[in-house]
Amino acid sequence: MTSQNSGNRKSRLPEAPATRPAESLKQDILRHVLYSLGRDTERPDRQTVFRALALSLRDRLVEKWIASQRDIYSRSSKRVYYLSLEFLPGPFLRENLIALGLENEAREALTDMGFGLDDVADEEYEPGLGNGGLGRLASCYLDSMATLRLPAYGYGIHYAYGIFYQLIKEGRQVERADNWLRGGTHWEFERSHYVHPVRFYGQVREWVDEQGRLRHSLENATTVMAMACDMFIPGHKNDYVLNMRLWAAKTSREFEFSFFNTGDYIGAVEEKIRDENISMVLYPNDEAPEGKELRLKQQFFLVSATIQDIVRRFRKKGIAWDQLPRKNVIHLNETHPAVAIPELMRILVDEELLTWEEAWYICVRTFAYTNHTVLPEALEVWPEDLFRRLLPRHLQIIHEINRRFLHDVRRQFPNDPNILGRVSLVHEGESRWVRMSHLAIVGSFSVNGVSAHHSEILKESVFHDFYKIFPERFNNKTNGITPRRWLRQCNPTLAWLITEHIGPEWLTDLAQLKKLEPYVNSEGFHRAWMEVRLRNKHKLAEYIRDKNGITVMPESLFDVHVKRFHEYKRQLLNVLHVIALYNRIRSSPGSVTVPRTYIFGGKAAPGYYMAKHIIRLINSVAYTINTDPRVGDLLKVVFLQNYCVTLAERIIPATDLSEQISTAGMEASGTGNMKFALNGAITIGTHDGANIEIMEHVGNENLFLFGLLSHEVNEMRSQGYNPRLFYERDSELREVLDMIAGGFFSPSEPHLFRDVVESLLNHGDRYMVLADFRSYVYRQQDAANAFMDQAAWARMSMLNTSRMGFFSSDRAVDEYAKDIWGVSGV
Ligand code: GPK
């Protein structure tokens, strides 16, 4: 104790020694309030306290990150680079507190300052740098890579505007810009001194050097700078921290100097703005690429800056280029960053002067590719003209890759000349398109799907020709989710109950949840389990009352359908059933006995007419039902606006029934399905994606599967599916569709929802909604019956949680590390 302290007793109570973690955290918070945020420490507001706490945690993260980097470096480990145009990390505060083991300390420090941790955490605005499943998967995987201590780096784009903020106005989706940086960035470090040039456009110059070699260089290119912004991803209580490096576009220096000479000041600034537009906004399309030039620029921007980073680190080792694949693996999250393949070729051939054969040998051993969708409209293609204009040298390289590839294929399949057109990297027809998935497959040593079912579909149909050519490249890695965020953080009371019974090891070894099974027969555990779940439902009911002004019964069956709006995900099928229930209530009171609360949430791409129309239909149906006095508490329909990670964390722990009802063969995996089941919700779903594996793990008796199998979907289609037959044969379905078409839910605009019904009856019902309607209705009845027996339902719920161990992202990432990347923890 210092003499100053001991001499100061009169004026203050003795403070606890500053070594106590809670006290030292409090001191750090106050220091940041004053010195980093410039606010009075006497009366900081909640937002200021949140920021100061975030900065205090960033201090701890950066120390651990430096140490982790030194470890990787000193061991000369093989590195994993995970390239993704999207990351959807969600709010960081709680996750970082849990990972650093500082939750209690933070609570104590804040209480001391007169704040509650929950209130402070609610101040955080999440970075929405992704659309949905694909971006969220990337973030779960970074969490697991950190927990497994893998020498890994996430690379993406620092969009100034993330996914739009969704408002529901008069039942319609309205998009608002998501200015997530408005409040400043307290989690990241901007490396303003640390930039890479990225070059677009220009012309390729061919020339012969003194050694007589044919050389290629780009002339008159436009240069934009990529500035690194680093965010830290800690492993779970292991002192290990990874970096997610996001690139922001900055105008080039040369340019800033040059405009002084031209005298056109405003024109120069306009050009600067144009350059910096590259990282301005995330494209809000899920599984339907927009095909805009700016998007291809974004892809190359990420790729070029990242490859420069990778090459810079590799060069420091001073070893030969052929060692690159032994020291690095570059993972492509979908085809969005696939232009990395020709970019690495360009560097090796044009700049490092390797032969084509040497360079290609290196490339194909360096890249691995994950496919996330089989929807034909989602398979990325670019007009060849656009490619030539923006990336002329890369197009030449793609042509050369293709020429050599087709040459080999011709030799391998001399009797199948048509295969060449099917597998070519360039689609040749009226117009020519570069096929990014073909490029990714040809340039990678590994191609994986994201569920067992999806990976089979890739081999059997979508990429069947490639499977014949490269059978050894194809493999499956079933998706997983991080149990830290998707149980421990979003459902702390359930997590606590679990830990109380089986200890905390499940947090990093989810298979341990199996140990809960003996407790499913314990009455005490039953009761506690259902109490926790009911409390979660109470909290969500309060939120619904606050936000939507609708009172829902916490005891009712919470039936939840949250995810992006897309026709294949069939929110429409759900609402058809809701209307059928409504009709039953009206026509034969007493026939519906289980009260239900339907909860919908999700964004539609702003240009996706039908998806937005379905949102509007759901809101209209909700209004009709919620205001019909005959319905009372039996049925409530709620649309929660702006579905995002933060909202998912509120909804999932309060869900009884999880809707996973895509047309069989169309959902690559799903990860929402896993989050719900892990938290004890029961799935109603189709035989699609990871639902099938969830069924295999939790048992067929503990979920409700229904509908056509994917081969039946195909057969029905090829035999000429006629949706009208279902309409004519099924009077309940007919009544529902007639009501929608006749304006029952839109009395002031009777034709409003006609297009929706038309798409089903007269435009082929591409997603087989009508074909699956009857079996869905039956399965929903089974679910309602099961819910009536609360003890049996509780049992199903507990068995779901206890059997979900396989779906941890730790398991998934471990498989990637062992089977694809060839890396292990440091
Ligand atoms: C797939 F292709 C895409 C895409 O552009 N966006 C996206 O979120 C999803 N996905 C699939 O739809 C899900 O089935 C899958 O679980 C998820 O990616 C992660 O693999």
- Residue 166's domain is classified under what CATH number? 3.40.50.2000
**Residue nearest ligand 1's atom 4 by CA:** 287
Cβ contacts of 120 within 8 Å, gap of 6 or more? 46, 49, 50, 53, 93, 110
Task: Give residue 37 CA to ligand 1 midpoint distance, Å.
Answer: 39
**Residue nearest ligand 1's atom 18 by CA:** 134
CA–CA–CA angle 784, 652, 488 (5° rounding): 130
Q: Which two three-digit tokens encode residue 97?
A: 């507190």
Domain contains 439: yes
Task: Give residue 674 CA to ligand 1 midpoint distance, Å.
Answer: 14
Q: Which two three-digit tokens encode residue 702?
A: 């503990």
Q: Are residues 255 and 348 in the same domain?
A: yes
Whether residue 237 lies in the annotated active site: no
Strands 328-333 and 474-476 come out as unpaired
Per-residue model confidence (pLDDT) at position 249: 97
Q: Are residues 241 and 325 in the same domain?
A: yes
d(CA 671, CA 689): 9
Give the residue among 285, 450, 472 at the shortest CA–CA distance from 374.
450
Domain contains 437: yes
Per-residue model confidence (pLDDT) at position 382: 98
Give the Cβ contact number of residue 711 at 10 Å. Answer: 12
The DSSP string of 54-93 is HHHHHHHHHHHHHHHHHHHHHHT--EEEEE-S-------H
Band of residue 3 on the pLDDT scale cut at 50, 70, 90:
very low
Task: Give residue 672 CA to ligand 1 midpoint distance, Å.
Answer: 11
Per-residue model confidence (pLDDT) at position 258: 63
Q: Are residues 698 and 733 in the same domain?
A: yes
Report the domain count for the chain: 3
**Residue nearest ligand 1's atom 10 by CA:** 134
Domain contains 419: yes
Atom number of ligand 1 nearest to Cα 450: 20
Q: How far is CA 584 from CA 423, 623, 677, 732, 735, in A?
A: 53, 18, 29, 9, 11
Task: Give residue 486 CA to ligand 1 midpoint distance, Å.
Answer: 18
Residue of 48, 624, 671, 683 with catalytic role: 671
Domain contains 620: yes
Band of residue 798 on the pLDDT scale cut at 50, 70, 90:
very high
Q: Are residues 97 and 202 in the same domain?
A: no
Band of residue 589 on the pLDDT scale cut at 50, 70, 90:
confident
Q: What residues does 195 pair with on adjacent strands?
A: 227
Mean pLDDT of 761-780: 98
Domain contains 522: no
Per-residue model confidence (pLDDT) at position 255: 61
Choosing from 84, 88, 287, 374 the residue with most ligand 1 atoms within 8 A of its CB, the one to mutate for a pocket test is 287
Q: How far is CA 204 from CA 207, 216, 397, 425, in A?
A: 10, 6, 11, 21
Task: Give residue 398 CA to ligand 1 midpoint distance, Å.
Answer: 26
- Check: CB of residue 50 under 8 Å from CB of residue 183: no
Atom number of ligand 1 nearest to Cα 690: 16
- Which amino acid appears at position 273 of this protein? I
389-406 pLDDT, tens digit per residue, is: 999 999 999 999 999 999
229-250 pLDDT, tens digit per residue, is: 999 999 999 999 999 999 999 9
d(CA 669, CA 134): 10
Atom number of ligand 1 nearest to Cα 133: 8
H/E element holding 365? helix 356-366
CA 522 to chain centre: 37
Cβ contacts of 259 within 8 Å, gap of 6 or more? 265, 267, 268, 269, 271
Atom number of ligand 1 nearest to Cα 373: 2
**Residue nearest ligand 1's atom 7 by CA:** 134
Task: Give residue 309 CA to ligand 1 midpoint distance, Å.
Answer: 27
**Residue range of the domain that includes 141:** 76-91+126-477
706-741 pLDDT, tens digit per residue, is: 999 999 999 999 999 999 999 999 999 999 999 999
Task: Give residue 155 CA to ligand 1 midpoint distance, Å.
Answer: 18
Residue of 60, 564, 613, 616 with catalytic role: 564
Q: Are residues 175 and 61 in the same domain?
A: no
- Check: CB of residue 381 under 8 Å from CB of residue 436: yes
**Residue nearest ligand 1's atom 13 by CA:** 670
Q: Are residues 114 and 142 in the same domain?
A: no
Mean pLDDT of 775-796: 98
Task: Give residue 699 CA to ligand 1 midpoint distance, Å.
Answer: 25
Atom number of ligand 1 nearest to Cα 334: 2
d(CA 384, CA 397): 13
d(CA 363, CA 338): 12
Residues lining ligand 1, CB < 6 A? 131-134, 137, 286-287, 334, 372-373, 378, 450, 479, 667-671, 689
**Chain mean pLDDT for the chain:** 95
Q: Are residues 263 and 309 in the same domain?
A: yes
Domain contains 513: no
| ipTM exceeding the 0.95 mark | yes
- Check: CB of residue 676 under 8 Å from CB of residue 701: no
Atom number of ligand 1 nearest to Cα 135: 8
306 has pLDDT over 80: yes
Mean pLDDT of 155-159: 98
Band of residue 321 on the pLDDT scale cut at 50, 70, 90:
very high
Cβ contacts of 446 within 8 Å, gap of 6 or more? 368, 369, 473, 475, 820
Choosing from 286, 334, 372 the residue with most ligand 1 atoms within 8 A of its CB, the one to mutate for a pocket test is 372
Domain contains 805: no
**Residue nearest ligand 1's atom 5 by CA:** 287
Atom number of ligand 1 nearest to Cα 378: 2
- Check: CB of residue 349 under 8 Å from CB of residue 359: yes
Per-residue model confidence (pLDDT) at position 264: 77
Whether residue 675 lies in the annotated active site: yes
**Sheet hosting strand 381-383, strand order edge to edge:** 381-383, 432-435, 426-428
Domain contains 154: yes
Residue of 372, 454, 533, 596 with catalytic role: 372
SS3 524: helix
198 has pLDDT over 70: yes
Q: Are residues 647 and 608 in the same domain?
A: yes
Strands 165-169 and 635-640 come out as unpaired
d(CA 102, CA 104): 6
Per-residue model confidence (pLDDT) at position 1: 34
Whether residue 671 lies in the annotated active site: yes
Choosing from 137, 142, 373 the residue with most ligand 1 atoms within 8 A of its CB, the one to mutate for a pocket test is 373
Q: Are residues 114 and 135 in the same domain?
A: no
Q: Are residues 141 and 285 in the same domain?
A: yes
141 has pLDDT over 60: yes
* Sign of the alpha-carbon dihedral angle for 695, 131, 250, 178: negative
d(CA 199, CA 209): 23
Residue of 245, 675, 779, 803 with catalytic role: 675
Atom number of ligand 1 nearest to Cα 137: 19
Domain boundary (461, 477, 493) is at 477
Task: Give residue 372 CA to ligand 1 midpoint distance, Å.
Answer: 5
507-550 pLDDT, tens digit per residue, is: 999 999 999 999 999 999 999 999 999 999 999 999 999 999 99
Q: Are residues 184 and 222 in the same domain?
A: yes
Q: Could you report how far apart the first and last alpha carbons of the chain are, in Å?
A: 40
Whether residue 563 lies in the annotated active site: yes
Task: Give residue 133 CA to ligand 1 midpoint distance, Å.
Answer: 5
Q: What residues does 449 pair with on adjacent strands?
A: 476
Q: Are residues 121 and 221 in the same domain?
A: no
